[in-house]
Amino acid sequence: MAPKSPKRLAAIVVAAIIAFYVGSYVLLSLGGRYEPASFGLRRVGWGVKWYEWAPSGFVTNFRWSHNLMRVYFPLYILDCRFWHPSDEAFDGIYPINEVADEDVDKIVIAIESSE
């Protein structure tokens, strides 16, 4: 068997890295759920303004991991745009970490105290 050309080997390595990158995001997204993305004043009072899709590990104790967001930014944008848009959070298809309006203050205090 003849040795593979360097270009072909490089193409295989690049394809494997891309497959691993995309595959790892897909696995994280499979375990994801909608999480509160913004708290504030709404028409009906204080509460969660909207929910965003969060793959597994992207949110812990209502705090978003900016490092994971940076690593997977292009895939996250595509995911939120085409597969998990925020306006479909309450469609009942995917899990949602829904927060009652009366509990929002406790969550905001917990987030601020952990910074």
Residue 62 has, within 13 A of its CA and on its CB side, a CA count of: 22
Question: Dihedral (C-alpha) 80, 84, 88, 89: value to the nearest 10 degrees?
Answer: -90
pTM over 0.75: yes
Q: pLDDT digit of tens for each residue in the chain (115 aa)?
A: 455 788 999 999 999 999 999 999 999 999 999 999 888 777 667 788 889 999 999 998 888 899 999 999 999 999 999 999 999 999 989 999 988 878 888 777 777 765 6
Residue 66 host element (H or E) = helix 66-71
- Position 104 scores a pLDDT of 81
